[in-house]
Amino acid sequence: MQTSEQINELAGALAKAQGEIQNPAKNRVNPHFKSKYADIADGLDVIRPTLSKFGIAFVQATELVEDGMVILRTRMIHSSGQWLESTYPVGRFVKHQELGASLTYAKRQALFSIVGVAGDDDDDGNSATATPGTRKTSNALKRDNPEAWPSLEKAVRSAMTRDELTAVWREFKDVIAVFPIAWKEQSDELFSTRAGEVADRSTDELEAAE
């Protein structure tokens, strides 16, 4: 995560806003997993008025990085000018329809996460993956591929530049695709956090680390 030099006013305002924001109603149903969730429109109806009340706006914009990787940046901006920003990897796409569907999901997950609301049923990570029939529970994944998460975490933390981080994403994207939802969300956060860390490092720091 990246922030402005100071975030004291933003932090205070966000704390007050979070005290009033309620989780959006889960009035949508995933037909594959029979789970309930709140879509982005439901979330906006709950989140936007309260953030505005405390002088907070947000912007979600995409960026195309190396090798066609699309990332989503979600920035919270306070009326003082202070801000904080998270990065969410969306993926690589040929068809605009595919990008649109994934971007909607990414916007919902990124916004709900940064504001601190829950938009999905909590099933302990048993329902995840976009392809029904390939999803695994956490226990099954640990049994079948015990090195999946440790290998991913080590590779992400070893990446020293955005290009290296993108290469890690390419290497592990098929592994991540069958993660339970809880693991997938953790991997998204791991990539997002590391992306902010490598972006903040100077050239001298990067050279010294090599």
> How much is the pLDDT for 177?
77
Asked if residues 1 and 76 have their Cβ atoms less than 8 Å apart, the reply is no
Flag whether pLDDT at 92 surpasses 50.
yes
> How much is the pLDDT for 176?
80
The radius of gyration computed from the CA coordinates of the chain, to the nearest angstrom, equals 18
Paired with 74 in beta bridges are 60, 86
Closest CA to 55 of 106, 104, 12, 5: 12
What confidence tier does 144 reach under pLDDT thresholds 50, 70, 90? low
The string of pLDDT tens digits covering residues 93-139 is 666 766 777 788 888 888 988 888 875 544 434 444 444 344 455 45
Mean of pLDDT over the chain = 76
The string of pLDDT tens digits covering residues 48-81 is 999 999 999 999 999 888 777 888 999 999 999 9
Global pTM?
0.55
H or E element, residue 140: helix 138-144
Q: What is the mean pLDDT of residues 193-207?
A: 60
Flag whether pLDDT at 21 surpasses 60.
yes
